[in-house]
Structure 1
Amino acid sequence: MKLTRRTFLGSSIALTIATAFGLSGCSKKPETLQETEGTGVEVQKLAEGQWKASGCLGCTSWCAKQVYMVDGRAIKIQGHPDSKVHGANDCPRAHLAVQQVYDADRIKQPMKRTNPKKGKNEDPGFVPISWDEAMELFADKIMELRNNDETHKFGLFRGRYTNINDLFYGNLPKIIGSPNNISHSSICAEAEKFGPYYTQGYWNYRDYDVRNTKYIICWGVDPLCSNRQVSHYLNVFGELLEKGVKIATIDPKHSATAAKSHVWMPVKPGQDGALATAMAHVILTEGLWSREFVGEFKDGENHFVAGNTVDEDNFEENHTYGITKWWNLELKDRTPEWAEAICGVDAATIRKVATDFANAAPQALVFMGGGSNMQVRGGYNSMAVHALNGLVGSAEHEGGTITGRSPKLNGFTKPDDFMDEMAQKNTKMQKIDQRGYKEFPALKDGKSGGGVVTNRVADAILAEDPYLPKVMIGYFCNFNYSCTETERWNKAMEKIEFFAHCVTHYSEMGHFADLLLPSTHHMFEQMSAAAQKGNGFTHLWIAERLIEPFYDVKNPESEIPWMLAEKLEEKGFGNLMDYLKTFKDPETDKEPTNGLELELHAFKIRTQPIWDPAEYAETGNNGTKYNSWDEFIQAGIWNSDAYEFKKLWSNMPTETGKFEFYSETLKKALAGHAEKHNTDIDDILATCKYDVVGERAFIPHYEEPYMVGTESEYPFAFIDSKSRLTREGRAANCSWFQEFKDVDAGDVKWGDCIKMNPEDAAKLGLQDGELVKVTSPTGEMTTTLKTWVALRPGTVQKNFGQGHWAMGHVAAEDFEGRVARGANSNDMIPSEFERLSGSTAYYGSFRVRIEKA
């Protein structure tokens, strides 16, 4: 049987079974109904079943879940009630996973490309093959690299993952002999991590002690919609409002969180730095900084007076460093009146929010998301916004922002002993994302090239700089859809000689694959585990395989490496198999004999400090105590003890050990990168498209945003937003996603739109509901116009999630014809970067024009 792209997903048998399960999105009324007493509402009665522990990787909330199982089928999902992070609370996205796992459009068996030409308009001519044949082809390609001493031209792309990802993502490329394991991280949040790292030494997501706070500023983030721990915040925000907690939202659009806030500050896109430095100015001039955390003038007088410099020796700091330098170099002139004309928020509101926030401190917090910093010049915005937490003493304080902590887990055997001479040599080659290049410092953890520059890979492939990769594999990723200027990725993937894609669904990236390797669904068909923080706790959830895989699918992090290792061993390269055999069962000391045993052993090894009393006594994991693996896997969750506040005061992993308003940590990192390229810091910053020179480079400061497109030619700043139902782009083939798309205020069911303030629409003579053409300096799209009063004039806003021309028959308008349902914003967002962190710039970075289609 030969299947082309047009037919390989159209399994009528699978569709029949999915329909029988009631999971196909049809509107058939269930036969067994019961009426909820006194409401007149009919609800379906659940069949007799059992709740089983699982977890969700649909976003970075990484919530613990329970799945209701009936006769081996997954029926319903809820939050795990034993999680101290979110309890039984849930978010809407998790429920779409049931449709995903039983989707008739899933890839059902390995598929091989038969058309050697690659391109969006080429039919790959996929035909079904066996796993044995697929692994034979893949192993042959790797052996060609080894035979030609070109192992560095192998690469692995990673999207979402479980906590055994080091087995595949971390160590497999090294054993083969490549430096190229490329994570998705910098299209996710690296600029958001930049500010907290270069003020308090923490490169990660923060936790926010909202239950004990009195004032929250949600800055460039929508916790009720799309950020981490949505399940928790959806539940707790009601409590906060009842208790009288004040909430301010800073966002150019009136978000779901703004609708629940006392103050909405519609900042101009990109101008967050002006607003943040003005708020810091108010806090200091009004004498509202934290004396306990920051310190005080030695004479007891407040010398922070607008326009005046202060004597740095007259201020004695406690747990911070550089407050007077920050004032003298930046803040003294950043009045609310100065900011009003720049950021579009009136001076009186700036002053009131800053004052109310500081008066509520230290039980007050700034909840920061990507909107304020995933901009071309967003690194210093990130520092300025987060510095407000330090200024009022809420960093690491009850009711403030806290770093949280990760559970102490075992690592895996290091790959060094399994890397031959070729691997040792070639893993030292430059990574293909150009991290560490002069124009891409990517200063994660203070190191030049320490981070990842995911979106730069497409440009590097096209330029063959530092070289052209030949053999690649990716899992849980779709960069041809989720990265900006998507056409670059299409052209780049055309150039890759051999690409294998491990995914549940055919996708825009998979269209360029030579092998499609059908993946297990993380929530139901494979063992999974992940840890996340929230509510002052950290949980780690773990899940067994809950259902027998519906199709011929494999776990990309365990089963696929095992099968590949078998083939490589047959061809004379046994290093990978030798490595995998070190994954011995901690209880029996037996080596794995297949991929499923490798999966089990890896999770047991990784989590042993959680379930083995001898191990957790050594590592100091404080929290839930288990006495065996069986006890842990049955419960499915571990919780830490409550967070210890103030523990990091004057004990922060910065150069000074303090919270740095003048960042010696950034100064050292920039100096190291400049020295590496035989230049100075000013030159590095100019190369990275920043204007700053001199000492201001080491403090949070305002820079005029770098916007692609002039205001005269492109009048509207573009706002890219996240949908309440988008599981990071993997939800669009669910009918529930399409049917309930209008939960995003102003959006439409089964379609797509761009929103504009009615005042702007009237000036252009545009009507609500008509088709418009949206043009940026790098692309264009056609979509429906929706007038939306809850949007700052001079801006347009569109939700991410539609625009798939692949993924399946629901996601695409015409799947066989590669016609997208709606438009993908990334098709027209310019490929720009916040280069100090490596982050892709999605926000506050470009303009568009709108006209009738």
Structure 2
Amino acid sequence: MKLFQAMMSRRRFLQTSTAAGAVGATAAGVTGLSGLTQSTEARAARPRGETKVTKNICHQCPARCGIDVYTTNGRVHAMYGDTGNPIANGKLCPKGHLGSYFLYDPDRFKGPMKRTNPRKGRNEDPGFVPISWEEAFDTVAARLNNLRERGESHRFAHFYGRGWGASDAGLYGDFGKLYGTPNSAIGHASMCAEGSKKAKHATDGNNSYNAHDLRKTNYLLIMGASFLEAFRPYNNMMQMWGEMRSKSPKTRVTCVDVRMNPTMAASDRALYIKPATDGAFALAVAHVILTESLWDRDFVGDFKDLNQRFRTGERIMPGSFDEKWVHGLTEWWNEELKDRTPEWAEGITGIPARHIRQTAIEFGSTRPAVAIFERGPTGHTNGTYNGMAIHSLNALVGSMFTEGGLFYQMGTPYGGLPANADDYLDDYARNGPWKSQPRIDLARTAEWPMTSTMMQEAGPNHLKGTPYKMDTAMFYSTNPIWTAPDPKAWEEALKDVFVIDTSPFPGETAMYADIVMPESTYLERLQDSPTYPFEGWPMSALRVPAIDPIYDTKHFGDMLIEIGKRINGPTGEFYRIIDNVENVLRHRAKGFENNPGDNGVRDFESWKEKGVWYRKPYHWRFIRGDFYEWEGQRYSKRMTAAEVKQKLLRTPSGKFEFKSGYLEQYADYINKELGVPVERVGLVQWVEPRHTGGNRDLYFVTPKTPMHAEGRGANIPHAAAIHQPVAGGRGTVYLELHPDTARSRGIRNGDKVKITSDLGSIEAECRFVASHRPDTIILPFEFGHWAQGRWAKDRGPGHSGELTANVSDPISGLASYYTGKVTLTKA
């Protein structure tokens, strides 16, 4: 009744309508109507302050999309994709709008602090008390100077996660050689995606991620890459998906994965594969491409006798195939590929042979076609060989460095620093005892000779005292107590290490800190960012502070410079010349004077104004059998074989290698670690994975979700809200499993379950997903924090990392996050 009383009556509605019509009539020049007044002019609300737009770079993932940040009266209130940034193109993914949550997070550290409680542990209050920046810098520098005086500077280690450019991680190398430590710096790539880089290093000589020309790709084979969830650059990948799927001809997509995900759901063909068997699938596809004569003659070559063919089970005579830009094809076929039929692969992968054959024929007969992969195939002990097999498909169909194919990112032509570090080396830096010490993670030693970094080993190595004990560790943009496999090892390791944490947020590693030096959030700092592999041509964006820091925080690069100024000897002199991050970037931007960007950027000020420097096109292209270099108007300079080897195919042979000369240099090591016969080590081949968990019956896979925001998604309420209908409720994320898997164990949809590995058990709430493999259970890698802030802390389920054994691919060093086996019972 009250509702109806509050509503307008029919009579009043008609009266109002009549009056409105009369006003319209008067306005139109009709007169003689009484009782009516002219309506007032409609006006927009007046702005309540001055609004400025600042160029910046999103920090929610590695994509590095340019953003326009809107600030009114000193408060950030909106972010949009920068229309002038080629990655963003005026668009953002759902994560891109979360920057203000980071900036105004009430759980942020407000300034530098020191620990007062000497005990460290999950249930220990650090007893942080505020200190000045001067005290923080002096404390750290005094500790480092003391180590150097004792000849123990190697016991200081830098650890970093998402390094961005010359103004932060780019400063590490000089710091390490000036101060004197082999541990500056240890990056997180071995806990990220190092496997795909190493697979390419072994086959085409480039230890890097691929750039792509997806706009012109006509067939996409996606293997464990989560293209529509986490593939880099994520925002742009979604844009490219729209272009590929709406152009003519439409790009056909086959997705191979262990679980249903957005990419699988949107593909033309979805193939469910047994975890760690991607290499077998790729070898069978390669077998069909060759037996069906679908390979690209311009890149691969051809038989000297054109009547000869590849036939299943039959060897070909050495010397009968005239290889062009590939090396080892004949031996690869004879020693590995001739018997790798789709029927053979079906028994390993679980994918029907007819689907493998059909995929191979489509992929091999469509130009250009690209095969992409990431951590799905490589997050296992056989990961590098899996990746090599997949990447070999790109060579077979001639997609290397072609239009619509894939290539590698060009670097930014930065100017030099205001001083050269080599001019400030003292005797200790040149010949001190640190020179004979290995890295704490033992990367690039006999233990891990092929790896670039092994962050996951540093904590356990410290516990063992092998090769030595750390004294002091500084963490930038990484949180190994949560992100490393078996993170409890790090909890023990850092109890007797002096820890310096620079995160803006109270993560698990920060709870072990002795000194907290909080960095400003990305909306408050000046920072450069050369792009991750994108479309090949060079590009570098710039973060410009939207506002001054709202708390007493600093840029990490400035922290490192300030500590450097306090190091005794010529190191301090060097950093006093470097001065600060802005000075670094002004000097780096001088490189643009002779290399102006396509958008007019030619110095620091125009870089700040535009937010990005880039220069098209990509400089090299493979065209009808030869490599050409860009000469200002077109690809007209034919490259010599020596130039191709130097710039593009950087292998020992100067060609794409199906028998890897790089791997052959480590034949004894690979034989020892993986059991591959010495004479076969270099071949792209099938290698059995070694799953952790022994005889346990379920594969345990922990993918990142689209809302995984650089490890901070769990403490962002808006991100949790987006997660809720897809991956979990307000208090948890669901364990996803096939209904048959659950029912055979007496588990109902929504039950609490216990997941057990060799390391222990965690509990979760289950949800039935009939489109998953019955032998694979899925727990998104997002929640399970015991720190990180009020919304993240103690939100279920248990942390998946605590079930993940610290086992890695011996070749790439990539942690085998997806290779564990577990048991599942009702809780």
Over residues 157-203 of structure 1, what are the superposed CA-to-partner deviations in whole Å (9 max), with x where a residue is unaligned?
A: 11122212356422223222211121112111111111111111111
Over residues 366-411 of structure 1, what are the superposed CA-to-partner deviations in whole Å (9 max), with x where a residue is unaligned?
A: 0111111121111111111101000110111111122232222235
Distance 2:565 2:659 in 1: 54
> Which of 228, 239, 242 is the aligned partner of 1:238?
242
Query: Secondary structure of the residue that 1:768 maps to in structure 2?
Result: coil
Deviation at 1:64, TM superposition (A): 1.6
Distance 1:517 1:746 in 2: 34
1:735 aligns with 2:680: no
Query: Secondary structure of the residue that 1:775 maps to in structure 2?
Result: strand
Q: Is the 8 A contact 1:85 1:533 kept in 2?
A: no
1:355 aligns with 2:361: yes
Deviation at 1:849, TM superposition (A): 0.6
Deviation at 1:695, TM superposition (A): 2.7
Q: Is the 8 A contact 1:79 1:86 kept in 2?
A: yes
Q: Which structure 2 residue ranges, 5 or more long, are not aligned?
A: 1-44, 629-638
Q: Cα distance 1:538–1:736, how it changes in 2: closer, same or farther (>3 A)?
A: farther
- Structure 2 matches for 1:537-552, cutoff 5 A? 537-552=537-552
Query: Secondary structure of the residue that 2:462 maps to in structure 1?
Result: helix
| Alignment correspondent of 1:227 | 231
Distance 2:552 2:330 in 1: 64
- Structure 2 matches for 1:715-794, cutoff 5 A? 715-742=697-724, 745-794=726-775
> Which of 365, 389, 392 is the aligned partner of 1:387?
392
Distance 2:136 2:617 in 1: 48
Q: Cα distance 1:536–1:162, how it changes in 2: closer, same or farther (>3 A)?
A: closer
Q: Is the 8 A contact 1:57 1:160 kept in 2?
A: no
> Which of 657, 660, 670 is the aligned partner of 1:685?
670
Q: Which range moved further: 470-479 or 535-544?
A: 535-544
Query: Secondary structure of the residue that 2:298 maps to in structure 1?
Result: coil
Q: Cα distance 1:576–1:748, how it changes in 2: closer, same or farther (>3 A)?
A: same
Deviation at 1:208, TM superposition (A): 1.9
Query: Aligned partner of 2:658: which letter?
Result: F
- Structure 2 matches for 1:41-56, cutoff 5 A? 49-56=51-58
Distance 2:74 2:211 in 1: 37
| Alignment correspondent of 1:3 | none
- Structure 2 matches for 1:84-233, cutoff 5 A? 84-164=86-166, 165-166=168-169, 168-181=171-184, 182-233=186-237
Deviation at 1:575, TM superposition (A): 2.7
Give the TM-score of the pair, scaled to structure 1.
Answer: 0.85
- Structure 2 matches for 1:395-414, cutoff 5 A? 395-412=400-417, 413-414=419-420
Over residues 14-50 of structure 1, what are the superposed CA-to-partner deviations in whole Å (9 max), with x where a residue is unaligned?
A: xxxxxxxxxxxxxxxxxxxxxxxxxxxxxx9997623
Deviation at 1:632, TM superposition (A): 2.1
Query: Aligned partner of 1:475: which letter?
Result: Y
Query: Aligned partner of 1:340: which letter?
Result: E
| Alignment correspondent of 1:16 | none
Q: Is the 8 A contact 2:56 2:542 kept in 1?
A: yes
Query: Secondary structure of the residue that 2:460 maps to in structure 1?
Result: helix
1:578 aligns with 2:573: yes
Distance 1:327 1:624 in 2: 49
Q: Which range moved further: 236-245 or 622-631?
A: 622-631
Deviation at 1:746, TM superposition (A): 4.4
Distance 1:710 1:666 in 2: 29
1:630 aligns with 2:605: yes
Query: Secondary structure of the residue that 2:384 maps to in structure 1?
Result: helix
- Structure 2 matches for 1:508-523, cutoff 5 A? 508-523=508-523
Deviation at 1:566, TM superposition (A): 4.5
1:653 aligns with 2:650: yes
Deviation at 1:89, TM superposition (A): 2.0
Query: Secondary structure of the residue that 2:344 maps to in structure 1?
Result: helix
1:846 aligns with 2:826: no
| Alignment correspondent of 1:312 | 318
Q: Cα distance 1:432–1:340, how it changes in 2: closer, same or farther (>3 A)?
A: same
- Structure 2 matches for 1:556-575, cutoff 5 A? 556-558=556-558, 560-568=559-567, 573-575=568-570
1:808 aligns with 2:793: no
Distance 1:742 1:704 in 2: 38
> Which of 398, 420, 438 is the aligned partner of 1:430?
438
Deviation at 1:517, TM superposition (A): 0.9
Q: Cα distance 1:141–1:464, how it changes in 2: closer, same or farther (>3 A)?
A: same
Distance 1:395 1:795 in 2: 34
Over residues 238-274 of structure 1, what are the superposed CA-to-partner deviations in whole Å (9 max), with x where a residue is unaligned?
A: 2322232110111011111111100111110011111
Q: Cα distance 1:455–1:226, how it changes in 2: closer, same or farther (>3 A)?
A: same
Over residues 536-572 of structure 1, what are the superposed CA-to-partner deviations in whole Å (9 max), with x where a residue is unaligned?
A: 54431112222111110011112x134324544xxxx
Query: Aligned partner of 2:621: which letter?
Result: F
Distance 1:495 1:629 in 2: 44
Q: Which range moved further: 186-195 or 331-340?
A: 186-195
| Alignment correspondent of 1:639 | 614
Deviation at 1:57, TM superposition (A): 3.1
Query: Secondary structure of the residue that 2:556 maps to in structure 1?
Result: coil
Q: Is the 8 A contact 1:755 1:785 kept in 2?
A: yes
Over residues 196-237 of structure 1, what are the superposed CA-to-partner deviations in whole Å (9 max), with x where a residue is unaligned?
A: 111111111111211101100111111211110111121221
- Structure 2 matches for 1:320-335, cutoff 5 A? 320-335=326-341
1:665 aligns with 2:665: no
Q: Which range moved further: 113-122 or 762-771?
A: 113-122
Distance 1:430 1:625 in 2: 46
1:822 aligns with 2:819: no
Over residues 420-462 of structure 1, what are the superposed CA-to-partner deviations in whole Å (9 max), with x where a residue is unaligned?
A: 222322442211111133331234xxxxxxx111111012101
Q: Cα distance 1:527–1:437, how it changes in 2: closer, same or farther (>3 A)?
A: closer
| Alignment correspondent of 2:373 | 368
RMSD: 2.0
Over residues 279-317 of structure 1, what are the superposed CA-to-partner deviations in whole Å (9 max), with x where a residue is unaligned?
A: 111111111111111010001024311111111211001
> Which of 599, 620, 640 is the aligned partner of 2:581?
599
Q: Which range moved further: 211-220 or 117-126?
A: 117-126
Distance 1:603 1:178 in 2: 25
Query: Secondary structure of the residue that 1:481 maps to in structure 2?
Result: helix
Q: Which range moved further: 414-423 or 748-757?
A: 414-423
Q: Is the 8 A contact 1:177 1:419 kept in 2?
A: no
Query: Aligned partner of 1:715: which letter?
Result: D
Q: Cα distance 1:523–1:310, how it changes in 2: closer, same or farther (>3 A)?
A: farther
Distance 1:538 1:837 in 2: 26
| Alignment correspondent of 2:634 | none
Query: Secondary structure of the residue that 2:354 maps to in structure 1?
Result: helix
> Which of 777, 792, 799 is the aligned partner of 2:780?
799
Q: Is the 8 A contact 2:108 2:504 kept in 1?
A: yes
| Alignment correspondent of 2:34 | none
Distance 1:841 1:55 in 2: 31
Query: Secondary structure of the residue that 1:264 maps to in structure 2?
Result: strand
Q: Which structure 1 residue ranges, 5 or more long, are not aligned?
A: 1-43, 444-450, 584-591, 593-597, 671-680, 814-819
Query: Secondary structure of the residue that 1:178 maps to in structure 2?
Result: coil
Query: Aligned partner of 1:696: which letter?
Result: R
% of aligned pairs identical?
30
Distance 2:745 2:358 in 1: 36
Q: Which range moved further: 647-656 or 135-144?
A: 647-656
Query: Aligned partner of 2:177: which letter?
Result: K
Q: Is the 8 A contact 1:321 1:658 kept in 2?
A: yes
> Which of 577, 590, 594 is the aligned partner of 1:608?
590
Query: Aligned partner of 2:489: which letter?
Result: R
Q: Is the 8 A contact 2:260 2:772 kept in 1?
A: yes
1:708 aligns with 2:683: no
Larger Rg: 2
Query: Aligned partner of 1:67: which letter?
Result: V
Q: Is the 8 A contact 1:739 1:750 kept in 2?
A: no
Query: Aligned partner of 1:561: which letter?
Result: L
Distance 1:126 1:311 in 2: 73
Query: Aligned partner of 1:253: which letter?
Result: R
Distance 2:660 2:415 in 1: 33
| Alignment correspondent of 1:531 | 531
Query: Secondary structure of the residue that 2:703 maps to in structure 1?
Result: strand
Query: Secondary structure of the residue that 2:577 maps to in structure 1?
Result: coil
